[in-house]
Structure 1
Amino acid sequence: MLSILQFIVDIIAGLLGGVLLLRFWTNAIRVRLPDQIRQFVHTITDWLVMPLRRVVPGTKGYDWASLIGAFLVVLVASTLLLLQGGSGEMVLLYALHRFLNWILYGFMALLIIEAIFSWVNPNAPLAPFVHALNQPVLRPIRRVVPPIGGIDLSVLVALVLIQILLFVLRQVFGF
């Protein structure tokens, strides 16, 4: 029973945290969300972001309330998970580890979605949006790794680098 509850908390927190991180990222890189996605994102997150904005206003295009909201979600979820079977004093460290994992796995998902779009349907309605979300990550890699034989390997390089970062996080945090 405990593992089912942990699974449910983890899924809900992961989805909410992912949407909050998407909201932060789109504001940070100034990418406009497609209308249906924007409505979904705001409906799901406004209850947390709007009160936080009164305390932590956005500056220079950064929606700090969304980022802090995502961290608060992972902190609450980590607290609930650790209270049921772990060490309470490790909550903040565990939450930070999970938060960084969410960010890295979010970028991995976006990169994989872009790769699928490029192979299956480059003209898909969401393809330009996903491409714009990935540009800040892929642009520096493309400067160093040019296309080989007309094939852009930057997504593959980015995925490998993210895997290395995830490995380093596991080593540093020990989780």
Structure 2
Amino acid sequence: MNGFGTATIYIVQTLGSLYLLIVLLRFILQLVRADFYNPLSQFVVKATQPLLKPLRRIIPGFGGLDLASLVLAVLLQLLLMVAVLTLMGYGVGGYLLQLLVWSIIGVTALFLKVFFFALIVSVILSWVAPGSYNPAAQLVNQICDPLLAPIRRILPNLGGLDISPIFAFIALNLIDMLVINNLAAMTGMPKILSPFL
């Protein structure tokens, strides 16, 4: 593949993955019941609304979960994989079911990465700007709190030292290593198709 083809794949994958992240954030923000009036939440809602509005007519929510945004994330990952494979010169006609499985694995991997990096940002913010009222800091804390709350209930109070993120990191990494990477390997998923693995 020439340099132009590689650059095209890079651009498609980068821009597609960025929008996929925004769509998945829409699902996560509703899952953790983040503040809807936060400016960053409003950006996510406005960026995803054009594609989600027609999809919501077909796929209703269930039990407080925004299934339409989750389905949209899987469809976007599928389209992204088809685009990358097509640009690489591969035919995808007979492999749509396998690509759908790979798309679900890719979206699940991204789901874990969002929580992983939100935890990193939360830990850094707790050192440099504890109690910050910045909209980004508040949103990161709202994403991390449901993950950390069960761990905090189990751990003893260590006098102001919160080590719950360490256990959350371990849990997320174990799920990634033992579940996501093994599923990707079992299904023969190429690394190029999901930068989140």
Q: TM-score, normalised by structure 2?
A: 0.79
When residues 59 and 149 of structure 1 are mapped into structure 2, their CA distance, relative to the original with a 3 A threshold, is same
Contact 1:145 1:154 (C-alpha < 8 Å) held by counterparts: yes
When residues 5 and 26 of structure 1 are mapped into structure 2, their CA distance, relative to the original with a 3 A threshold, is same
| Pairwise CA distance, 1:99 | 0.9
Instruction: Give the 5 Å matches for 1:128-139.
Output: 128-139=138-149
| Pairwise CA distance, 1:87 | 6.8
When residues 38 and 129 of structure 1 are mapped into structure 2, their CA distance, relative to the original with a 3 A threshold, is closer
CA distance in 2, matches of 1:100, 1:35: 25
Where 1:116 maps in the other structure, the secondary structure is helix
> Aligned pair 1:18/2:21, yes or no?
yes
Q: Which residue of 2 aligns with 1:98?
A: 106
Contact 2:105 2:183 (C-alpha < 8 Å) held by counterparts: no
Which of 140, 159, 166 aligns to 2:150? It is 140
Instruction: Give the 5 Å matches for 1:23-62.
Output: 23-62=26-65
| Pairwise CA distance, 1:114 | 0.7
| Pairwise CA distance, 1:147 | 4.6
Rg larger for = 2
Where does the alignment leave 5 or more consecutive residues of structure 2 unmatched?
Answer: 190-197
User: Number of paired residues?
Assistant: 175
When residues 123 and 142 of structure 1 are mapped into structure 2, their CA distance, relative to the original with a 3 A threshold, is closer
Q: Which runs of 4+ in 1 moved over 6 A?
A: none
When residues 87 and 137 of structure 1 are mapped into structure 2, their CA distance, relative to the original with a 3 A threshold, is farther
| Pairwise CA distance, 1:110 | 0.9
Q: Which residue of 2 aligns with 1:158?
A: 168
- Partner deviation per Cα, 1:10-34 (whole Å, 9 max, x = no partner): 2222221211122112222322134
* Structure 1 counterpart of 2:62, one-letter code: T
Over the aligned positions, Cα root-mean-square deviation in angstroms equals: 2.0
CA distance in 1, matches of 2:117, 2:18: 13
When residues 121 and 48 of structure 1 are mapped into structure 2, their CA distance, relative to the original with a 3 A threshold, is same
- Partner deviation per Cα, 1:101-152 (whole Å, 9 max, x = no partner): 1101111111111111101102322333321211111112222333545321
- Partner deviation per Cα, 1:82-106 (whole Å, 9 max, x = no partner): 2333573231232122111110111
CA distance in 2, matches of 1:145, 1:78: 42
> Aligned pair 1:173/2:184, yes or no?
yes
Contact 1:110 1:134 (C-alpha < 8 Å) held by counterparts: yes
Instruction: Give the 5 Å matches for 1:60-139.
Output: 60-85=63-88, 88=92, 89=95, 90-124=98-132, 125-126=134-135, 127-139=137-149
Where 1:78 maps in the other structure, the secondary structure is helix
CA distance in 2, matches of 1:65, 1:145: 36
Where does the alignment leave 5 or more consecutive residues of structure 1 unmatched?
Answer: none
| Pairwise CA distance, 1:62 | 1.7
Q: TM-score, normalised by structure 1?
A: 0.88
When residues 140 and 87 of structure 1 are mapped into structure 2, their CA distance, relative to the original with a 3 A threshold, is farther
Identity of aligned residues (%): 30
- Higher deviation after alignment, 28-37 or 42-51: 28-37
Contact 1:56 1:64 (C-alpha < 8 Å) held by counterparts: yes
